[in-house]
Amino acid sequence: MSLFGEVSSTESLVRQIDVTIDQFRKGATAPTDATVGSTPTVPALLFDATTELATVTEDLPIDMDLTVDPVLTIIFSLVNSQINNDTADLTFDYVAPIKEVTGSGPAKASTTATATTTVTTANGLAVDDMYSINLTIDAADATNPLASAEALSIEMHLTNVTGVAAIHMLSAHLRYTAKY
């Protein structure tokens, strides 16, 4: 028995990589640095236009099971009071660069995906109420397969501002299944 316990071949082990706000690089049109709360204040990025971009690059862990799709979760709070059933929509462009293969670096074609969550009365519609958006990343994506990649770069922005027009992004994490 190991110090961390044993995992049988029929069990899966889910692990998480936490991504802090300061790990996101801001695009040419950047979200605004902000804080949420009063004691303590929590750092956040204010997204309130569809042109504001933030990007993060994470090394893929060596124990990631590349046959199982990882899930990126963005944790955010509401900037304004919302109406029941408004949606928060984020667009993600991701690229999985592959080393030592011509045309497969960071500038290769990205994959675009949109993720949505609905705000409801039951979960809170007030300023600073917290939500999350989950994006499942296709590990076998034809353009950006994770199998040969050593890193994953993800750029995000608001898809539209017709529902939830602004969010404070507080943090993110990438959950993946470990192969051992």
pLDDT reading at 1 higher than 50: no
Beta strands of the chain (E only): which ranges? 13-19, 25-26, 32-36, 42-47, 54-59, 71-78, 87-95, 111-118, 130-136, 151-158, 167-178
Residue range 12-52, pLDDT digits in tens: 799 999 999 999 999 889 999 999 998 999 999 999 999 99
- Would you state the pLDDT for residue 8? 53
pLDDT reading at 149 higher than 80: yes
pLDDT reading at 7 higher than 80: no
Give the whole-number percent of the chain exceeding pLDDT 90: 81
Domains and CATH numbers, the chain: 14-178 (2.60.120.260)
